[in-house]
Structure 1
């Protein structure tokens, strides 16, 4: 079968190709650039716990070696400290802050070590054709040629050629936020933390400034600018740096300015994410990032969601229900994130007035911004696909656990079939569903005994009879689960359902729902559960 064509060699395109390779699917990555990235320390990304774990599973060593995990979060307003949080525990996992060029280098190194990924540079897509058996794409450049693939995924950014060739609208809002940025080395009073300061008492720096720790004593500072204002000159930016550091450090501190920049954030959402065998992911499908939300997080979640579905289609065939579920799940989740950010902006960035003076208003604003920056609540928490077309029908045997249906599972310790103890998240992304039995006490028993005792033989037989590949794991405990609870987990780590005890018929029905039924068993529904309507972003013109 032909490889998957991935258009675009940014973080999302490379992550998708690695995720496909981990599930035995070859891919061709069309990179219109030279395959190198300019070091820009002021251009960084923040990854939540789930997306950082995905990068590590895919072999991106720079996450561990060159990323900074914040030890705390601190928010200030004028001269008052509103909130201090310690990060790093199960309740508040620490985000990873890393320069984007370091992330890209780690992904490129991982791709170079994988035989199933072919990368071709200086290859700009200019045409694509689809038929019942696959996709044909043409690239121009020094080695202009035609490429044949089973599927094609456009990960080619905000001005996506794939999206344009498919005729998909990309409506939304322009210049939602604008920031001046500086990367520098200095000593601040909060080593290893992230700091948000609203309405600082020194007026020259604006209404909001953020400091976020990077490795090796470096920091990234962001100043919120008027959405549509004058150009920021180098002298004005240096003045902001000096005034901000002087205010925080009670005097002019020593600093080494590394890099600067100004960037503008837009909010946009593609009307469709699938057209037959062609898909959109990452910035080609959505743009967001205001009030602390992270667009790359959502792009990496796109890649993880789509990879296992394409792997199922590539190896075993897939129903349209399964392939349509990518748009239904991911577009709905991103639309909800955009909607939450758009609803927060008038509150946080409005002109103030009486509402700004109401008791508790400052702390309410602080909560919204904290959620966005730390990956909490409607602005940042990992999505739960509660109404997915892959959700099984309700079963009487369903057992409630600490994870809601459709949400990412907790990263508990589990015992693998070979007897080793690993993290549950380490078993994700292999193209298999996971069946987890909660069996207290198994950790102190000899595996030779409990593998053939109790409910294990019956459960192992039920797992082997499932309509899609699955792996049986055993956990001593799981949040909110009682003994002998059986959890069914999707290949991307979202909980399908949980049962009290071994229920072979119900387990089979749930697994069949996850794969979208038998391949070719469902009719196409062009915009099934596509989430927020494109009309919600029709206030501005599409990107051309």
Structure 2
């Protein structure tokens, strides 16, 4: 069978290629560039714990060694600390901050060692043709040729050629925010802590430095962002250096400390959302499908979630034939999540950037502003949280056997320790991305007994038989506990780590129905459609 064609060799495209290879699906990655990225220390990405785990599964690299995990987060207003978050064992998971070219290099290294991924550099797509059995893309350049694939995914950025060739509209708002950006090596008094400083007391007259963000990177490097006033005023090297010196002196309560300027730039945030994410066998993902980034939110983090969502669905279609409802669910799920975040940002913009609003009406509302901004930077709340798939077309119907746990249906599961079928202890996230559903039995006490003593006891034989009979490949795992789940409950988890449902006990019929819904209901419905088409053709 033909490989999946991926257009674009940025982090999203490379992640998708590796995610498909994990399911034994071959890919061709068409890279418009020369196959390497220019180092840009000021171009960075903040990854949440689940996307970090995704990338580490695919690359085999310890990304913590390539980036910096924040020790904490501080929100300041003038000279006052408004809020502080400490990351670690007793607090929330620390975000990982690293330069984007470092992440891309790690992905390229993994791709180079993966025989199922073929890279084609200096290959710019200029035509796409598709028919019922597949899709063909033409590239121009030194090796210009036609490429044949089962499906094609455009991960080719904001100016996506794939999106334009499919005539997909990309409406939205331009220049929602502008930031002057600098990467510099310097010693600051809040070592390891990311910082959001609003209304700093040393700022010059006017709104030029009304909000500053500092985020640590490895080796004593920091990325600093200054929110710029609306408009297109030119940020000259002289004004940027003056801004750097003023900020550093303000934070150190004295003269400007010694620093090494590594990189600078101006980051303009646009908010756009493609009307469609699928046209037949052609899909778009990442910046080709959406742009967001106001208030510290991370567009690349969402692009990686696009790849994770689409990969297992393409894997099912590649191995088992057309699964149209399953492939359609990619747009339904991912576009809804991004749309919700963009709506939240649009609602917050007048309040947070209007220069008055709530603060003039409600005493102390400035603290609420800082909490909203922190949510964006830390991946919380309507501005920052990635969202779940509770309204997914793949969600199973109601069942009397369903029980609530701390993870809502459609949300990412907690990363608990589980026992695999071979008796080894692994993390739940380690079993994701293989194209199989995960069925997790909650059985307290199993962690202290050898597997041979309980694998044939209690409900295990009945559950194992139910898992074997499911309409989609599934793996049975056992956990001693799960947040909010009582003993002997059974969790059904998608290959991308989102909870489908939880049942109170072993319910084979309910488990089968939920697994079938998760696959788009295709096991029975598409067979009936094929028979109907065959009868129609016979006439």
Question: What TM-score do the two structures reach when normalised by structure 1?
Answer: 0.94
Partner of 2:82: 82
Q: 1:300-319 residue pairs with structure 2 within 5 A? A: 300-319=304-323
Partner residue in 2 for 1:529: none
In the alignment, which residue of structure 2 is the partner of 1:59? 59
Among candidates 484, 488, 503, match of residue 492 of structure 2: 488
Matched, 1:180 2:180: yes
The Cα shift of 1:522 comes to: 5.5
Q: Which residue is 2:150 aligned to?
A: 150
Q: What does the per-residue CA deviation read over 1:4-52, in whole Å, with 9 as the maximum and x for residues that have no partner?
A: 0000001100000000000110000000000011111011111111111
Does structure 1 residue 445 correspond to structure 2 residue 449?
yes
After the TM superposition, list the runs of 4 or more consecutive aligned residues in structure 1 that deviate by more than 6 angstroms: none
Question: Aligned equivalents of 1:75 and 1:302: distance in 2?
Answer: 30
Instruction: Say whether 1:214 aligns with 2:217.
Output: yes
Distance across 2 between alignment mates of 1:139 and 1:444: 57
Match of 1:475 among 476, 479, 490: 479
Aligned 8 A contact 2:359 2:366 in 1: no
1:227 aligns with 2:224: no
- Asked if the contact 1:60/1:109 (under 8 Å) is kept, the reply is no
CA deviation profile, 1:485-525 (whole Å, cap 9, x unmatched): 000000000000110110001100000001112258369xx
Instruction: Please report how far the alpha carbon of residue 342 of structure 1 lies from its aligned counterpart in structure 2 after TM superposition.
Output: 1.2
Secondary structure at the counterpart of residue 347 of structure 1: helix
Matches within 5 A, 1:104-253: 104-204=104-204, 206-251=209-254, 252-253=256-257
User: Which residue matches 1:17?
Assistant: 17
SS at match of 1:170: coil
The 3-state SS of whatever aligns with 1:12 is: helix
Aligned: 1:296 with 2:300: yes
Q: CA deviation at 1:62?
A: 5.9
- Equivalent position to 1:268, from 269, 272, 279: 272
Q: Distance in 2 between matches of 1:64 and 1:352?
A: 40
Contact 2:30 2:119 in 1 (8 A): yes
CA distance in 1, matches of 2:430, 2:280: 32
Q: Give the Cα separation in 2 of the matches to 1:89 and 1:10.
A: 33
Separation in 2, partners of 1:479, 1:11: 32
Aligned position for 1:36 = 36
CA RMSD of aligned residues (A): 1.3
Is structure 2 residue 381 aligned with structure 1 residue 377? yes
Q: Tell me what 1:343 maps to.
A: 347
1:64 Cα deviation (Å)?
Answer: 2.6
Q: CA deviation at 1:380?
A: 1.6
Q: Secondary structure at the match of 2:227?
A: strand
Give the drift of 1:428: 0.4
What corresponds to 1:532 in structure 2? Answer: none
Query: After superposition, what is the alpha-carbon deviation per residue over 1:185-215, rounded to whole angstroms, capped at 9, x for unaligned?
Result: 1111111110000000112351000000101
Q: Determine the C-alpha separation between the residues in 2 that align with 1:91 and 1:247.
A: 29
Deviations along 1:57-97, one digit per CA (max 9) or x if unpaired, are 11162623211000100010011110111013475111100
What's the TM-score, normalizing by structure 2? 0.95
The alpha-carbon distance between structure 1 residues 513 and 74, as it changes in their structure 2 partners (threshold 3 A), is: same
SS of 1:370's equivalent in the other structure is: helix
In structure 2, distance between residues paired with 1:72 and 1:135:
48
Query: 1:356 deviation in Å?
Result: 3.9
1:282 to 1:97, Cα distance in 2 relative to 1, 3 A: same
Residues 331 and 353 of structure 1: is their aligned pair in 2 closer, same or farther, counting only changes over 3 Å? closer
Tell me the distance in 2 between the aligned counterparts of 1:356 and 1:314.
57
Pick closer, same or farther for the CA change 1:120–1:376 going to 2, 3 Å.
same
Q: Which moved more, 1:219-228 or 1:327-336?
A: 219-228
Q: Distance in 1 between matches of 2:257 and 2:439?
A: 56
Residue of structure 2 in register with 1:535 after alignment: none
Residue ranges of structure 1 left out of the alignment (5+ in a row): 524-544
- Whole-Å separation in 1 of the counterparts to 2:5 and 2:90: 38
Asked if 1 retains the 8 angstrom alpha-carbon contact of 2:358 and 2:365, the reply is: no
For residue 431 of structure 1, report the CA deviation from its aligned partner: 0.6
Q: Per-residue CA shift, 1:136-170, capped at 9, x if unaligned?
A: 11000001100000000000000100001100000
Aligned to 1:429: 433
- Higher relative CO (Cα under 8 Å, sequence separation at least 6) belongs to 1
Please tell me whether the aligned partners of residues 74 and 196 of structure 1 are also in contact (alpha carbons under 8 angstroms).
Answer: yes
Deviation at 1:317, TM superposition (A): 1.9
